[in-house]
Amino acid sequence: MAAPEARARAARRVALVPGDGIGPEVLAEAGRVLAAASGRSGLALELESFPWSADHFLATGETLPEDAPERLAREFDAVLAGAFGDPRVPDNRHAEEILLGLRRRLDLYANVRPVRCLDDRLSPLKGVGAAEIDFVVVRENTEGAYCGIGGLLRPGTPEETAIEEDVSTRRGVERLCRFAFELAGTLEGPRRRGRRPRVVLADKHNAQRFGGGLWHRVFLEVAKEHPACEAGHQFADALAHRMVLDPGSLDVVATNNLFGDLLSDVGAALQGGLGMAPSANLHPGRTSLFEPVHGSAPDLAGQGVANPFGAILTSALLLRFLGAPEASRAVTEAVASCVRAGETTRDLGGSLGTRGAGDAVLARLEAGGGA
């Protein structure tokens, strides 16, 4: 059994927000694994569930209670969320207020989306094995094209005009770039590959002179503070191409909110699909939000067939955040060992349901995470 890592500490509190569609199905499995892994490592955890979702919105008119961000920041160490989005709320208002609202109002400026392929059989690339797919997309998470500034002029007329602003602040770009360089210095991948940690900025300063230009200038300034890292640049379109053709050349990709959203779904494909990709919305030292990269998958919801591994790997990121790195590694290894054994849901070629895949991870975890 792993050595106790945090036995001396008071209980850590985690808020669970299952959300919509497959969110509650995958979060139930992530919650079970979290409880089992933390118990094994001596980390005392208290979990409390919150109902914020489309169902709750449609029943009560409430999206996110006004005091929720303050309450979460005061009373909880972290939030573990499922997914938000429901065809009955076509303008996505509840998801905007719950998910983007928490990212903004908790000021979770770094959305960390690891792209790590756990087994050769999950790599979609011909001749590229799992060992070559191990990097992190660091997505700015509070501004950019997600700032919510814009409007409609002459709506409903042939002259209808939509304006959607894209805001980048020096402070926002600088802290994101600094986070990316600091994270790069902690990664095992570059050491294993025998090179300096490499941070690549993905922007479009060739087309977006102002915002893109600011990103490019600030990135180069922050790079000078981190001589132990190698700083590179690639236009975001070419970076998407490089992710597919040469993923092994990447350690950290730093990018803005919208490019990060797109690139991290390409990254999910490199790990076996959206069902496998975890993420952490961070502001170092503050209550942070953990969620799988995928959405509510209305096409699968209610059938018990969604892949819970992305949510379970997200709970591994959460365990690391709570100071239990051994428990975190054990969870990741248990998932990897299920993948190697073919104990997976059907998106990965297996025949298990969501609960069965969660059971398989728990069994591997109990057996010590081994093969």
User: Which positions are annotated as active-site residues?
Assistant: 146, 204, 237, 261, 265
- Interface residue with ligand NAD, options 236, 297, 313, 330 (CB under 6 A): 297
Tell me if 45 sits within 8 A of 38, measured CB to CB: yes
Cα distances from 202 to residues 108, 189, 212, in angstroms, run: 20, 20, 9
**What are the backbone angles phi and psi of residue 147, rounded to the nearest 5°?**
-75, -10
322 binds, among Mn ion, ligand NAD, ligand IPM, none (CB under 5 to 8 A by kind): none
**Which 3 state secondary structure label does DSSP give 57?**
helix
Q: Identify the CA nearest to 204 among candidates 268, 250, 145.
A: 145
Question: Does the protein bind ligand IPM through residue 280 (CB under 6 A)?
Answer: no
In whole angstroms, what is the distance from residue 355 CA to residue 75 CA? Answer: 30
State whether the Cα torsion 147-293-84-63 is positive or negative.
Answer: negative
Task: Report how many residues bind ligand NAD under the rule CB under 6 A.
Answer: 22
- Residues in 256-295 that interact with ligand NAD by CB under 6 A: 274-275, 291, 294-295
Task: Give every CB contact of residue 195 below 8 A, 6+ residues apart in sequence.
Answer: 230
Report which secondary-structure segment, H or E, holds 200. strand 198-203
Question: Does the protein bind ligand NAD through residue 83 (CB under 6 A)?
Answer: yes
On the CB side of 206, CA atoms within 13 Å amount to: 7
Site string for ligand IPM, 282-321 (x = CB under 6 A): -----------x-x--------------------------
Question: Does the protein bind ligand NAD through residue 55 (CB under 6 A)?
Answer: no
Cβ nearer to ligand NAD, comparing 177 with 334: 334
Tell me if 242 sits within 8 A of 202, measured CB to CB: no
Question: Does the protein bind Mn ion through residue 261 (CB under 5 A)?
Answer: yes
Among the listed ranges 79-87, 170-178, 217-225, 313-321, the one in contact with ligand NAD (CB under 6 A) is 79-87
β partners of residue 167: 144
330 binds, among ligand IPM, ligand NAD, Mn ion, none (CB under 5 to 8 A by kind): none
Cβ nearer to ligand IPM, comparing 31 with 295: 295
Site string for ligand IPM, 78-97 (x = CB under 6 A): -------x---------x--
Question: Does the protein bind ligand NAD through residue 307 (CB under 6 A)?
Answer: yes
Site string for ligand NAD, 14-53 (x = CB under 6 A): --------x---x---------------------------
Cα distances from 219 to residues 30, 140, 181, 307, 323, in angstroms, run: 36, 13, 10, 37, 30
- Residues in 100-139 that interact with ligand IPM by CB under 6 A: 100
Question: Does the protein bind Mn ion through residue 86 (CB under 5 A)?
Answer: no
Task: Give every CB contact of residue 355 below 8 A, 6+ residues apart in sequence.
Answer: 28, 29, 304
Cβ nearer to ligand NAD, comparing 298 with 325: 298
Locate tokens 């118990």: which residue? 39
Residue nearest to ligand NAD (CB): 85
- Residues in 99-128 that interact with ligand NAD by CB under 6 A: 99
**Residues within the interface to ligand NAD (CB under 6 A):** 22, 26, 83-85, 92, 95, 99, 274-275, 291, 294-300, 306-307, 310, 347
